[in-house]
Structure formats: structure tokens, C-alpha cells
A and B are shown apart, each in its own frame.
Chain A
């Protein structure tokens, strides 16, 4: 009888130690809910949601402070995905933050650029190259279309251009939509 109690106690102690070790050894860095939410956001870092980037918005959603329908570039699909993840009802994009628009990239008019580097400082993904007093260009591949560089240019030489659709990125229309438009 007594040996059984001892064995059980020993097992309990070992298991406890293992759990304790596992908790330390496999501790998740950061907050998993925030990570999951962030992974659904488009990483445009535009701040249109009212937070200074995708991660802060994800944190605000996780805290229950922000609603799930504030990401303009993510649009309908992101709202759906967030609703799915958090077990909520999808809802339309909050009109307060703006309207869904076609993807675009920033283009710098290199004739007008004075090389002030303000746009380089504003770009959240370092997609603008150029040195002081030299004209700058946008790496279109890396531009997220956040538009943060547009207002900071003192000579208004940055504008947004829609990303052209090519054979790779073309999508079949939602059936019936074509007729409805025709």
C-alpha cells in the first residue's frame, strides 16, 4: 500500500517537473492570438485602420478595443478571415476608414524629385531607394501601396498607379457579375 503511494507521488513529482520544464522550454514568444490575427493582415502598414501598423491593429483587436472591419487594403477577404478566426460574424468594411480600392504602387516622378529623402524615411518597408540629393525610385515589387510617402513629399512628385493586371494575376470574375455589369 505504502509503496503504491510512493510510486504515485514520485510519478506526480516527475510529471510536475516535466510540465514545469516544458512551460519554460517551449514558452511561446509573444502572444499567439495576436500572431494569428497579424498573420491575416496584409502587412501594408498603412495605418488606415487608425493604428500605427498591422501589428498594433492586431494587438488592439486582441484586446477587444478595435473591431475586425477596419483594414482597408485587406478588404472583404481579411474581414471574413478575421471573423472566422475569432468566431464572429463578418461585417462590411467600416466606412469611417475608407473604401476598398484596386491595388496600387507609388511612382516617383524622377524629373521633379529633389532628393530630400523624406519619402525614404516614411516608407515602412524600405521600398524606396536613393541617397540624399539624388533622385529616388520605388521598387514596385516591394511597395505595399500604403501611400505613406505621398503626403510627405515637399514637391508632390509621388503618385499612386494601379498595378496592371497580367496573365499571371488575372482572375476569373465571380459568375454572374459580368452580366450584371454589362
Chain B
């Protein structure tokens, strides 16, 4: 196919180290003793548990429901017994714990009867298909974990012409998408077709980096030359798998700053997500497992594994031959965008695509930052066309207004700038810091606004109560005065009566004593 490729600005050619983990097709890992299934595996609100300890669950049974529209349901990855609903450490750069449903699998792997699919999805309306995607708890599997049904619903004002399917997998070491495309090309394409129907998109463009010839061939064969679905090879250049970068590569279109692909009529979905959509719609299977790349010099048998959500990292690594003596650091994701975790007791989630056990020589040596020399190398490689040195400058100075003027939120944290910086500045650390501070300030502002309104209401309440109290005491005083007046009136009347009697008595005396004495 001679479709033109539109290179993006910047980027880097990196050592992929992919062959390490592509020797064998993904094999399922046996069930662990316990599955620890986090309720918050996606962007948006954490799901709300609907099971209790002691309850028996079947595979694929909902164990937590979506809390609102931007949220995702969670399902039991195996049949068994819920033993706890409690906080456990989760894979997150903070190392924090978060609520999880702990399940002891019974090994029977019996599916929940609610899980029914249909091969005849063409007969279903787009809304019905989207509802199935939502019910299956599917989230973006390329890493970010944005609920897929939300992305598949760009809203009435935004007509989508192109669905971009992301099979670029540009980050070094990671091969789970590659292995999925090699082994299940039909599933990926059927999922893409379902999403195309949901979006009403005219065409589907699949983008794959050209260092994956097997995947390219498998998908092209599966596509069978359909006129509205193209599988295109893109040059090997990190970060070709960034949403904006891949859209640019395939369509030449630029997603506006701080905008969404849907603003220009495009929706981008990862190949793993496509396969999950297919499994949900055709087989009725919710998202309860995924392919994970286990790789790096620190693991004895690097490979891809099909892993139930909730499986501890340690169990997965054990089934990839275990650690070698060289193992030095455990990274979730790849070396560029991933984050290190301190413990391997945390579970695989819907978005964990890779466990990189870095050997000593693979670990980036500690940075020795020196002042910025204004060489401009960072700006040259920035795929978002930002000025990383300016972002660094203002983030470091905690000038959160200026750092946003330089479009901090367009930074995709790809790490290219930090990699080339001759001063070894940990640039991305500053951007992450600044972003999370800005979000925190945003929350603070909302809280303050709420507190201000409540304080006003409080003052108004006190004012009202004071007024009521005054009104009451006024009324009391009035009643008191009334009473005094009444008493006075009564006293007066008595007085008058007495006076009258005295007068009468005296008169009676004059007229006749008998009556008075009687």
C-alpha cells in the first residue's frame, strides 16, 4: 500500500530490545492462590463493590459497578469465593494501597451465565454495542485506562470519519500488542469493525511500526484487502504510538492543543482494546485478563503471558522463569514511560502491559543534574513541539501559571527531552510534579469555593436564627406586657367594683341595713 506517511516532529530511534520476549506465543498463567482485584483500574471514579466477603462468584460476574459515566465495572477474573473487600497495595507510582476485592479461585473456571455474546453483532444498533462495551468494563489497554465506552461516544457535535487502531507499540521492550496481533489478528480486526460501527466511521487505519513484520503480515492477511480498512507500516521512531503522533503519521491531521482527536473527527484505540471489545461483544466475555510482557535482563525466561486481572506480579514473574541474580529494578510499563514499583506483591490490572525486570546494567544510572545550558536539544526531540527547557524552568520555580502558558498539559511525558538532555536534568519528573500540583490546586480551589458558600450559608443561618430569637423574645415581651395590661385591667375592674360596692354599702346604709347585714 502506498499510502503516505506524515512524519511527526522530533522523536528518537531507540534500541527496541523486543526480540527478548517474542520467541513464544502468549501462554496462560495458572491461577494464583488469591486474586487481588483493584476497584480503580481506570481513569475516572473507582468502581463500587457489589459483593461481600464469603460470597461465591462465577468467572465474569460483576464484582463492582461503575460509579458514574466515566468509570468502569470490574468482574471476577475466576470463579471462587470473595474472601475480603479491603485495601491492598496497587501498581501505582505512589506505592499506595487502594480498595480491592480479594477472591480465592476454586479452579473450576465456571463462567457467569450473564456472559453471552453474539456473532451477529451487525444486527445490533451502535448504542446497544456501546452498552455491551461498557458493561464489559473495557478500558484503554495501551496504558492510560480511559473507559472505552466514553471514547466511543464523542457526542452529537463530533462526526467521526476515521478510527485509528494503534498497533505501533513504540516503547522498547514491550511486545504484548505485537504478540496479540500475530496470534489473534482476526479478533483485533473484528473488534475494530465493531468500534467502526459504533462510531459510524468511514474508514479504519491500523498503524504498526515496521519492525513487526509478522504482525503486519498477519493483519494484512486478515484484512483481505477490504477497501475501508488499511493496515499501514509506520517508521520505527519513538513515540509513534502516542495518540497524537500516530494520528499525524497516518492522516496528517494535527489534534489541536488541549483538544481531543474527536475534535478533528478521529478516535484512536489500542489493538488490545479492540480484541477486548470483540471478546465482549462476540463471546460475551468481560475484560478479566490480558496479555502481559514479562521481560528484561532480570527475568530468566522473558515472554508474554495471558494473565487474569488481580494476579500478583510475583506469580507472573515466577511463570517467566523467575528473577535472575541480575534483577535490580521492577518497572511497570517500559523504560521510557513506565514507573518503578518497590514490591512485587501488587496485582496485574487492566492497564498493566509490561513487567520490566531491569538488570543492573539496564537501569538508568543515577542522574547528576547540572544547570541547563540552553542547548535546545530537548526542543528538537519533543514530539509535542513544546519548549521543554521553559517548562522545566517554570515548573522548578513553581510558577504554575507560566508553565501552563507553555502548554504543560500537551506534554505526553514521553521522556525524549530528558533522554537527550546533556545536563541530565530529570525534566519529566518536573512536569509530573507540576501537573499533579496544578490538579491539587484545582481541587483546593473547588473545596475553598464550597467552604465559602457553606460559610455564607452558616452566617445567613446565624443571622436568621438571631432574628427568630429576637422575634420570639419580642413576642414574649409583648405577651408579658399584654399580661401586665390585662392584670392591670382586671385590678382596675376589681378596684372599680370595690369602689362601687363601698358606695352601694354606704347608700344601703342610708336606705336600709337589712340587705347588707343578711
Chain A residues close to B by CB (< 8 Å) = 38, 41-45, 53-54, 77, 80, 84, 123-127, 142, 144, 165-167, 169-176
Contact = CB atoms under 8 A, between A and B. Distances in A.
Contacts of A166: 96, 98
Q: In the A-B complex, list the 7 residue pairs whose CB atoms are closest, starting with the nearest.
A: A43-B451, A125-B454, A175-B429, A43-B448, A171-B436, A170-B94, A172-B432
Contacts of B396: 175
Interface in B363-382: 369
B479 interface: no
B458 A124 contact: yes
Contacts of B65: none
B433 A173 contact: yes
Interface of A: prevailing SS: loop
A101 B440 CA distance: 16
A121 to B, nearest CB: 9
Interface in B76-99: 90, 92-94, 96, 98
Interface residues of B, number: 35
Given A53-B455, A167-B90, A171-B436, 16 more contacts: A41-B448, A42-B448, A125-B454, A126-B458, A142-B454, A144-B447, A144-B451, A165-B94, A166-B96, A167-B96, A170-B436, A171-B440, A172-B429, A172-B436, A175-B430, A175-B433
Contacts of A54: 452, 455
Nearest to B437: A171
Contacts of A77: 398, 441
B13 interface: no
Interface string B454-497: 11011001000000000000000000000000000000000000
Contacts of B457: 126
B450 A80 contact: no
A125 B443 contact: no
Interface of B: prevailing SS: helix
Contact of B455 (A43, A80, A175): A43
Contacts of B430: 175
Tell me which of B398, B401, B450, B454 has the highest count of chain A C-beta atoms within 10 A of its own C-beta. Answer: B454
Contacts of A80: 398
Nearest to A179: B366
B451 A125 contact: yes
Contacts of B433: 171-175
Given A175-B426, A175-B433, A170 B454 contact: no
Contacts of B182: none
Contacts, number: 75
A177 B455 CA distance: 36
A45 B435 CA distance: 28
B130 interface: no
A42 B436 contact: no
Given A124-B458, A175-B433, A169 B440 contact: yes
Contacts of A169: 440, 443
Contacts of B437: 171
A123 B40 CA distance: 34
Contact of B452 (A43, A173, A175, A176): A43
A59 B272 CA distance: 57
A166 B92 CA distance: 11
B444 interface: yes
A124 B440 contact: no
Contacts of B96: 165-167, 170
Contacts of A171: 433, 436-437, 439-440
A142 to B, nearest CB: 6
Nearest to A44: B451
Contacts of B435: 172
B60 to A, nearest CB: 26
A123 B94 CA distance: 34
Contacts of A172: 93, 429, 432-433, 435-436
Interface string B400-433: 0100000000000000000000000010011011
Tell me which of A42, A43, A126, A174 has the highest count of chain B C-beta atoms within 10 A of its own C-beta. Answer: A43
Contacts of A41: 448
B38 to A, nearest CB: 9
Contacts of B426: 175-176
B449 interface: yes
Contacts of A123: 458
A143 B152 CA distance: 38
B268 to A, nearest CB: 25
Nearest to B448: A43
Contacts of A165: 94, 96
Nearest to A127: B454
